[in-house]
Structure 1
């Protein structure tokens, strides 16, 4: 058994004991990313005693190097590590935390070509990556390998995390299709608060422990979201998507997530020169002025169903962005459509599709987030 004195406070937990500690010690876990989320969850896993037994291993896969801009949130690395491979810096810090841990570093990208071979040596996958292509790849690869996945995502002031168990609802059930590239902010452009990485990374580490030891109720069929501006957590249940296609092989995920939207409406004006965007206060005035139902614009929400369930503009119609091409012919052409999303990014892609189909439309700048800030604080932000 691993060092009992090191893990005494954990061994004392009700229902944990020697059995839970041994399960962690012999676990074989691969973590994608030694960045913001990895910097939180990796030390917590090592501190808990993961991969400290003869059969255990903690794999870290990341092809990136430490940059100065990483340091405000990626606390596994220090100023002296700038320019070093993140996997090397991370492994050094983790071995200093507990020399008994077995760490395997993979200085490479997690790709369709190497994913299944890599996962042959692991029993659980943790995805702390920062892009949709890798998230879909991780979900599909874990599914094909028959191992559970713990995933997390952070951006700006919020984050989300969940678990994809073997045989349970998975990432594609929650996000059936990826947003277009111009509908996605990353941390470099949108920013991220360090404490968000701390909260989401800690939840992910807790879920890994829950899955490996059987302690607690893992986030199966549920996604947890966190908003640092309010300190609020929200939880949304989800199930299998009956319309989803089975995953039978790994694909080109960059291509899958990289469809280029049509170029119509470029420059935010229509062919006639009128604006195709409006602010939250402008939309509020428009809705107040068009009381009669035939005159009211159609409010089109192109977020995912779980987002719509969390919060939505009143009387809006949900058509997720990935389903818009199939639904576009049924949308009215005799009144204006106002399309919105979370931050006003996905709605720009939807706007291009609507205008290309001859539907009079505009989109809400800043999305429902701006509406909550500038018009109605009762509409919850997430």
Structure 2
């Protein structure tokens, strides 16, 4: 039941015909867990709190550092050294006193994952490492929880909805973690990107809570903030595909490192077809050979790829090349690989 002050506070979204009073009541009744109160977590938390989500859990064992302030704009320089989770909850309570916050100033680990997640309707993964992402995913799968995922690096971001009504999960997109993990500390990130991706994540959360619109279940949205390109890819459920076509999945979901690529090129260069899936200007600045077919042009350029070769896709960080593998595996008959870590890895 909304009190009078809440009716005034949420008026602008309640007048939306897709939402209305019933939708706002659903938002107030919702319980959402946000794992990570950093770059992605800050905008997600701010907008969910502003929208009136009834109960928000915040999981983060980190403290605020000076280098965070370029993108984690919920905090300021007087907060340096303080707990992110506790500080976020205190600031958000000032933003909206009608929201209840539960703070977990601890690392999300295997021994506490289920206990933390089990009481929430929806889980949002704003973490920044593969270990946590796989743990969050597997916990949500085991508990039957819908998971909203986001990631950022340099100028590129990703958003997806996993395990929604038994839909695809994180392991369908990335069956195993890459051998090289380039994060924002090493690869950098433009400060605005977490805001862009975080807002998409918060928007997905509100749509799921209110059961409105089209969500990103079974899809991966990629956003390149440098070139203003947005793409949405369909995610195959590999656990089902593997049963039906084990050989194809094994051939087309691999990653290789630069050492392996160099070995292949020295042993049988005629059998390798190298594709730089970045934009033309990026290819001109630096590349390791091959042809340049932008990720966004790849679907219309399939006929230019010779059949039955080992196709190796590469980009700056390894993110776009993974998406290229997903595109190619739908129709290409040969083996397709992504170069792990892309050109950001120093060999």
Instruction: Please report the TM-score for the alignment, with normalisation by the length of structure 2.
Output: 0.75
1:336 is matched with none
2:31 equivalent among 21, 28, 41: 28
2:176 is matched with 177
2:250 is matched with none
1:107 equivalent among 105, 108, 115: 105
2:188 equivalent among 183, 188, 191: 191
Deviation at 1:166, TM superposition (A): 3.0
Deviation at 1:215, TM superposition (A): 1.3
1:45 is matched with 48
Unaligned runs of 5+ in 2: 244-255, 267-285, 292-305
Q: Distance in 2 between matches of 1:240 and 1:269?
A: 32
Q: Does 1:344 align with 2:343?
A: yes
Q: Distance in 2 between matches of 1:124 and 1:244?
A: 28
Instruction: Please give the secondary structure, in 2, of the residue aligned with 1:301.
Output: strand
Instruction: Please give the secondary structure, in 2, of the residue aligned with 1:29.
Output: strand
Q: Distance in 2 between matches of 1:344 and 1:311?
A: 21
- Residues 81 and 341 from structure 1, CA distance in 2 versus in 1: closer, same or farther, beyond 3 angstroms? same
- Residues 344 and 114 from structure 1, CA distance in 2 versus in 1: closer, same or farther, beyond 3 angstroms? same
Q: Which has the higher helix share?
A: 2
Unaligned runs of 5+ in 1: 52-56, 246-260, 273-278, 285-292, 322-339, 349-364, 366-382
Deviation at 1:269, TM superposition (A): 10
The alignment's C-alpha RMSD in Å is: 3.4
Instruction: Please report the TM-score for the alignment, with normalisation by the length of structure 1.
Output: 0.69
| 1:1-382 equivalences in 2 (<5 Å) | 1-2=2-3, 3-51=6-54, 57-164=55-162, 165-180=164-179, 182=180, 184-241=181-238, 242=240, 280=287, 283=290, 299-301=311-313, 306-309=323-326, 318-320=335-337, 340=339, 343-344=342-343
- Residues 15 and 191 from structure 1, CA distance in 2 versus in 1: closer, same or farther, beyond 3 angstroms? same
Count, aligned residues: 291
Alignment deviations for residues 224-261 of structure 1 (CA, whole Å, 9 cap, x no partner): 0000111111000123112569xxxxxxxxxxxxxxx9
Q: Distance in 2 between matches of 1:95 and 1:27?
A: 17
